[in-house]
Amino acid sequence: MKVIEGGVCAAKGFSANGVHCGIRRNQSKRDLALIYSACPASAAAVYTTNLVKGAPLLVTARHLADGKAQAVVCNSGNANTCNAGGEEVAEEMCRLLGHELGIRAEDVVVASTGVIGQPLDLSPIAHGIPSLVKGLSPQGGKFAAEGIMTTDTALKEIAVEFTLGGKLCRMGGIAKGSGMIHPNMATMLVFITTDAAISATMLEKALRSDIRDTFNMVSVDGDTSTNDMVAVLANGLAGNDEITAETPDFAEFMRALNTVNLFLCRAIAADGEGATKLLECEVAGARDKFVARTVAKSVICSNLLKAAMFGADANWGRVLCAIGYSGADVDVGKIDVAFRSCKGEITVCRNGAGCAFSEETAKDILSQKEISILVDLHDGAETSRAWGCDLTYDYVKINGDYRS
């Protein structure tokens, strides 16, 4: 397994593009993205748990009922959510793209991200699709990654190379996500491509299994979005024997998927709106996986802790507080807490009580760009990790005038 260049175009048979079609006022911002497979692919997706779902998610779920797709189209600047006729707009996006590509509309995954509750005008999309398709390129992954960004400040993409049954396979992914990010996914769009051959059933199984410890463990602000989607296309052009069961090849495929997803999780958390620091909570010593995940999520979601991390304040009591209201069955009297960064590691709590430590050293550790919050429950062997960011003044500034 090694990281390579290329993003969603690293795998054989995939091309991509992103253009500015006019949805967003800023003409320097791409607002329409396309990923295309040269042949039909096995496909799977997972969606937000929010009861209010964007129209594109409902359309995509219908399109993927047969486990096949050949293209992904996504606009930014408008979520196409809570609009009368939103599904018709999403279906028309697929029809227009399908016509231009010469594929079935039902083989298109459609997604939207941006402001909720504003009608999505199809005119700029219809005008932009021909140039979007014409510009498809094996080098277009970055353009597609730019086209799905909203308040993101950094492009998020990765690709890896791995072997299945002696055949070289590749997998790549792009993501957008900066705010409205909370466990059970977020204002988060992730598109993954691979040339590995795997059945739609096993692809969905792999995706649903992996997101429990990746995308469902990310939180920026506690708001669960209406438009979250993670979609995967596998076109089989690598030539490996199709994965149809839980074989060693399936385990290797899962390892590649986890590598891609973990990278994108950390990239989303690090680029949280207004964020200056990436936070990772590592929980060890849990009696079961549920407790480990629950504790990690609760710590990373604590606004008081996030604010303390912004100020480089080793306020470990906020960690225990978050564990205490998490609902997890833990023995508070056994808990150890430490903070770690590139400047070192410092223990601040033992057996549920404070211990002597240097505030100066702690501040130095917490002043770095990446901080780990280490929690040991001393009650078992299970572990979990969750990712988030600090809470800064700029988060309020960004969201106070998001629509204007």
Cβ proximity of 91 and 59 under 8 Å:
yes
Distance CA 325, CA 194 (A): 41
**3-state secondary structure at position 314:** coil
Query: For helices 303-310 and 317-324, what crossing angle results, to 10°?
Result: 160
Q: Residue 219: in which H helix or E strand, if any? A: none
Name the region of 236 (left: φ>0; alpha: ψ -120 to 50; beta: rest): left
Structure tokens at 57: 């998610």
Distance CA 215, CA 324 (A): 24
Distance CA 47, CA 334 (A): 37
How far CA 230 is from CA of 61, 80, 175, in Å, comes to 12, 17, 9
Does the annotation count 60 as an active-site position? no
Distance CA 54, CA 61 (A): 11
- Bridge partners, residue 232, by sequence: 44, 192
Distance CA 304, CA 214 (A): 23
The amino acid that residue 294 corresponds to is: T
Beta-sheet pairing, 278-286 with 229-234: unpaired
Beta-sheet pairing, 156-164 with 108-115: unpaired
Cβ proximity of 263 and 169 under 8 Å:
no
- Bridge partners, residue 109, by sequence: 72
Give CA angle at 100 (97, 106), nearest 5°: 45
Q: How far apart are the first and last CA of the chain?
A: 45
Catalytic residue among 187, 194, 226, 294: 187
Q: Which residues are catalytic?
A: 187
